[in-house]
Amino acid sequence: MSKIIRNSDMARLARISSVVNFCLISTLLLCICTNPTSADVELNEDNWTQILEGEWMVEFYAPWCPACNALYPAWKELSNRAYGKKLAMRLAAVDVTKSPGLSGRFVVTALPTIFHVKDGIFRQYKGPRDAISMLDYVENAKWKQAEPVPSWKAPDSLQMGVVAHFFKLSQGLRSVHTMLMETYGLPTWGSYLIFAVATIFVGALLGLLLVCVIDLFYPPRRFERVLVTSDEVEKRNRNYDEKKSDDTSIFNELINDDIIDDEENIHNSDAEKNSPSDTSDEEKKDDGAGEGGKCDKPEARKRRPRKAD
């Protein structure tokens, strides 16, 4: 009887050990399959600032990206080689499906994208994507030959932080769009109509808020009403009429002066054309001297002075 009990206990122990081994193996396989990168740190919106100190290689990936999955062996080998050579460089990875704000902050337009970060200076790695090339890029400081990301485009700048918030907002709107179609069964045009109405309402609300803020800081001027008596109104009207009549008379005099001058010019030009021109200037002088030494000079035409404006 005791032998039977011992055998049953041994069988139970064997079953328990096999179950434990199965769980350990399953956990290990699950970790390998669900982690497409072999990075020291998984970055997100909360802990990404730690790469601003030290030297890092950062990969942006997505679980559905075939190129990211193809890069996994080289990335894992790079981690092992860096650890074996005791380099100060560390590896990090960003899942763009979980942290869309970081993809906007780093302006990631293709996957996978690799960045080299050295003491807060960002450079995009564009070399071969094998472990030896990436290790040589870091170990022999070939990153010095690459142009750093400009300061206005740096991920830790204020403007890129604003871009990151816009990316997070777009991701949130996309999730709402998916929820409206899958959960509530709305058609695509129905979801777009809801977003259009919400956009108009939010725009009108923001415009009203902006007007209130402007009126608060720059209030409009208040004009006081001035009462004028009827006598003052008549006096102003008379002054206006007198001024208008003076201007009209001055204008008419100027026009008349111009007409008179034009007529005199035409008369003088006709007289010059009809005058004889057979004798020369010297003969005219002699004739004048012979007649008594007097030379008649034409009188200068005087222009009537105009009235000042």
Model pTM?
0.52
- Percent of the chain exceeding pLDDT 90 equals 27
Helix (H, G, I), strand (E, B) or coil at 93: strand
CATH superfamily of 41-157: Glutaredoxin (3.40.30.10)
Using CA of residue 168, residue 96, residue 39, residue 23, what is the dihedral sign?
Answer: positive
- The secondary structure of 134-182 as a DSSP string is HHHHHHTTGGGGSPPPPGGG-TTSHHHHHHHHHHHHHHHHHHHHHHHHH
Query: Catalytic: which of 23, 31, 33, 65?
Result: 65
User: Would you list the domain boundaries of the chain?
Assistant: 1-34, 41-157, 163-217
Closest CA to 68 of 112, 33, 130, 124: 112
* 23 noted as active-site residue: no
Residue-by-residue pLDDT tens, the chain, 309 positions: 444 445 555 556 556 566 555 555 554 444 444 444 445 789 998 899 999 999 999 999 999 999 999 999 999 999 999 888 888 899 999 999 888 889 889 989 899 999 999 999 999 999 999 999 999 999 998 999 999 999 888 998 888 888 888 888 877 787 888 888 888 888 888 888 888 888 898 899 989 999 898 888 888 776 666 676 777 777 777 777 777 776 676 666 666 665 655 555 565 555 555 555 444 454 444 444 444 444 444 444 445 555 444
Q: pLDDT tens, 41-71? A: 899 988 999 999 999 999 999 999 999 999 9
- Percent of the chain exceeding pLDDT 70 equals 64
Query: Catalytic: which of 23, 68, 212, 295?
Result: 68
Calpha distance 265→259 (Å, rounded) = 10
Place of tokens 């709305």: 186
- Pairing state between β 121-125 and 41-43: unpaired
